[in-house]
Amino acid sequence: MHRSIVPPYLLARIAENAGDRAMPAAARAAQRALLSDGPVRLAGARAPRYADFGRGGAAASGPQRTIHDAESTETVPGVVVRREADPATGDPAADEAYDGLGATYALFASAYGRDSIDGNGLALDATVHYGDEYDNAFWDGERMVFGDGDGEIFRRFTVSLSVIGHELAHGVTQFSADLPYQGQSGALNESVSDVFGSLVEQHSRQQTAAEASWLIGEGLFTDAVEGRALRSMSAPGTAYDDDVLGRDPQPAHMDFFVDTLEDNGGVHINSGIPNRAFHLAATAIGGFAWEGAGAVWYDTLTRGSISGETDFDSFAAATVRVARARWGRRASQSEAVVDAWRTVGVEPEAAR
């Protein structure tokens, strides 16, 4: 299953409304994106298995990136256009993808000592120019895939570093906890990707928690859209309010949790609740968020303290245990984590 940055409910709104707003390309592109949310076609005999991915041996000394061009087809990986240490191609999409993979590697390596997204030097592959005006970007379990957008609602999807970091973070989750992509565990899967997508951007810009925008997908929308980004971690539900897209439906508190069968049980919608909890914890702790709250969330994800049945309560409790192990039970940083979850209506069992 694809882990896509643009949720299906948003694509459905565009497909339904864009044509009436003199945006025929956006309407067609959204319809195609909705229909193509299935396994991508692989060039070659078979899809690689996880065991094939550069495991074993000495740890890599840096990222091993390869950028492919699908040439507007839906066949991946496509033609190689840039490998590790090659000069820039002059193609913005290829070069932004290359730089974004490097920035993501840099966060996990320097902040958490992790060698690539699997922790064992996994080569980082990406495909750009996927499909015809394709309105999405996704992690397919093996590589990053980026569409060029329709030019009316969406720009090319490589333009946002938080999008690149978000999608690669799905790989970190896949190799660490593999939270089922359904219901609350799926919303946590999406939230974790937003957390590290934002941290990749903050780390690259050397921004403190107070300085960061906390927007996911900033810059993706064209000037025709009334919106700042796909999601806001600091204020879920406020990222956009547009005639075509509608209003951002993310809740910021458990009182407004959305029970739905769509979007795998609301994985993109309800991720706003843990997103806000992370933002609250990060800004209360202060400094660089990847060193404070980010380290707690990373340890929670990667050290076996959560299972496939994890919901918001149990994930919150795990972050509190990790925070107390790091700073002490009564430390202000630990209390910041507890208070963040309580503010969004989640009571960590460990804090009772």
DSSP 254: G
- Could you tell me which residues come within 8 angstroms of residue 128 by beta carbon, excluding any fewer than 6 positions away? 67, 68, 69, 70, 78, 81, 91, 93, 94, 97, 146, 148, 158
Residues 6+ apart with CB under 8 A from 104: 117, 124, 164, 165, 168, 169, 200
- 268 catalytic? Reply is yes
Q: Which of 167, 190, 201, 335 is catalytic?
A: 167
Q: Which residue has the tokens 């041996």?
A: 57
Angle, to 10 degrees, between the axis of helix 312-327 and the axis of helix 183-205? 40
Specify whether the backbone of 266 is left (phi greater than 0), alpha (psi in -120 to 50) or beta: left
E strands, the chain, in order: 3-4, 41-42, 65-69, 75-76, 79-83, 124-128, 137-139, 144-146, 215-216, 231-232, 241-242, 246-247
Three-state secondary-structure class, residue 230: coil
Across the chain, which distance is largest between two alpha carbons, in Å?
A: 58
- For the record, the structure tokens of 59 come out as 């740890």
Is residue 167 flagged as an active site residue? yes
Catalytic residue among 190, 268, 279, 335: 268
Please choose, from the candidates 122, 118, 123, 114, the residue with its C-alpha nearest in 3D space to the C-alpha of residue 65: 123
Catalytic residues: 167, 268
